[in-house]
Amino acid sequence: MNVLVTGAAGFIGSHLSEALLRNSHRVIGVDNFNDFYSPALKRQNLEEIKKTAEKAGAFFQCYSGDICDADMLESLLAEHKIDVVVHLAAMAGVRPSIQNPALYERVNGLGTVILLEACRKAGIKNFIFGSSSSVYGLNTKVPFAESDPVCLPFSPYAATKRAGELTCHVYHRLYSMNIACLRFFTVYGPRQRPDLAIRKFTDLIYRGKPIPIYGDGSFKRDFTYVDDIIDGVMKSVDWCLEKTDVPKYDIFNLGESATTTVSELIELIERTSGRKAKKEFLPLEPGDVPVTFADISKSKKILGYNPQTPISRGIRRFIEWFEKSLVPTLDKTR
């Protein structure tokens, strides 16, 4: 099977590419290697994917390009006979989206439309869209279920992800595409972006610098280990490819279905690393929501999704990776 992965050199995209290659699929990647965080880290991810491809004896090729470039996408899809597209490329992050909403609208909104249109022209019928738990916004009912209203996003990022889900529905209805929209809940693990909480907090603890805590540390997140997310994505690909009489469209939560407060998270990192955190309490930031919590009963029933990594185990695996991969670098910069 030939799979196009957008954002292939990123955190989730690199792990997904490797999982596909291990299962003997051909992977064609696209990434623009932008400077939202260090492009060098994405290049490192790419080298890891290439090693996996070589070990698995599977085909991998990654193109450097912008998903808003229709000509590039159409040329790429004409060159490769793609069976399914997994669309993970996006401008990520709630707080940065408030600072630069137009960029988020261009990449996440327009980019998704251009990619879907390129798929339509190429006759590609299977599409996975990487959405976000952010679409639930200020929803007060927990845990969050896919059937809950999602009409109150609390950031431009959340609004672009909900718009992407709706655009996917349009292409499903108009062009008989099989589409799964996956709402990811606070993904963490090896290769995590430097700006995300677990890696950021761990880095600051090891550097002996204070951790910024917005509010009193009581906000809760449904932290989900990357391996569980990848399992869910792989199962959604299988779901899309299942033969049915009518085209399919659905939305699935992919989370651990458990919550951890920011304070509990810091304590867990402290216990696991054997180091003490310095804390700096700051005012709440616009766009932050008090809780994310996934109801995964639908994903379990339809996809067979079943996360296996509680946060205590996931943090231990993350710290092991961090100490092996990044601590030597930290030591050199002190």
Among 317, 285, 324, 40, CA closest to 206 = 324
Cβ partners under 8 Å of residue 207, min gap 6: 330, 334
CA dist 273 and 323 (Å) reads 9
> Is 80 exceeded by the pLDDT of residue 327?
no
Dump pLDDT digits (tens) for 56-77: 999 999 999 999 999 999 999 9
Question: Any idea which residue has 């304070």 for tokens?
Answer: 263
Q: Residue 203 class from Cβ within 10 Å (0-12 exposed, 13-18 middle, 19+ buried)?
A: middle
Confidence check: pLDDT of 89 > 60: yes
- Residue 58: name the closest of 28, 13, 14 by CA: 28
Question: If pLDDT is split at 50, 70 and 90, which confidence band does 329 have?
Answer: low
Q: Cβ neighbours of residue 255 under 8 Å, at least 6 residues apart?
A: 133, 183, 184, 185, 186, 222, 224, 292, 293, 294, 296, 307
Per residue in 145-156, pLDDT (tens digit) is 999 999 888 899
> Which residues are registered as beta bridge partners of 221?
260
Instruction: Report which of 162, 264, 261 is spatially closest to residue 221, judged by C-alpha positions.
Output: 261
Residues annotated as catalytic (active site), given as ranges:
157
What is the model's pLDDT at position 287?
A: 75
Over residues 190-199, mean pLDDT? 93
Write out pLDDT tens, residues 253-296: 999 999 999 999 999 999 999 999 999 999 888 778 889 999 99
Question: How would residue 330 be classed by pLDDT, with cut points 50, 70 and 90?
Answer: low
> Mean pLDDT throughout 240-262?
95
Q: Where are the domains of the chain?
A: 2-187+226-255+289-308
Q: What is the rounded average pLDDT for all residues in the chain?
A: 94
Q: Which helix (H) or strand (E) holds 271?
A: helix 262-273
Annotate 108-143 with b (16+ C-beta within 10 A) or e (fewer).
bbebbbbbbbbbeebebbbbbbbbbbbbbbebeebb
Cα gap 304→253, rounded to integer Å: 12
pLDDT at 332: 43
Q: How confident is the model at residue 334 (pLDDT cuts 50, 70, 90)?
A: very low
Summarised one tens digit per residue, pLDDT across range 133-146 is 999 998 889 999 99
Residue 140: per-residue pLDDT: 85
Residues paired with residue 131 on neighbouring β-strands, in sequence order? 183
Q: What is the CATH number of domain 2-187+226-255+289-308?
A: 3.40.50.720
- Who wins on pLDDT, 37 or 299? 299
Kindly state the percentage of the chain with pLDDT values over 70: 98
Q: What are 303's two structure tokens?
A: 């996809």
The string of DSSP letters for 274-289 reads T-PPEEEEEPPPTT--
Over range 178-189, report the average pLDDT: 97
Strand, coil or helix: 245: coil
Tokens, residue 73: 């996408």
| The pLDDT of residue 325 | 86
3-state secondary structure of 135: helix
β strands within the chain, DSSP E: 2-6, 26-31, 60-64, 84-87, 126-132, 178-184, 187-188, 210-214, 220-221, 224-225, 249-254, 260-261, 278-282
Q: Are 175 and 116 in contact (CB under 8 A)?
A: no
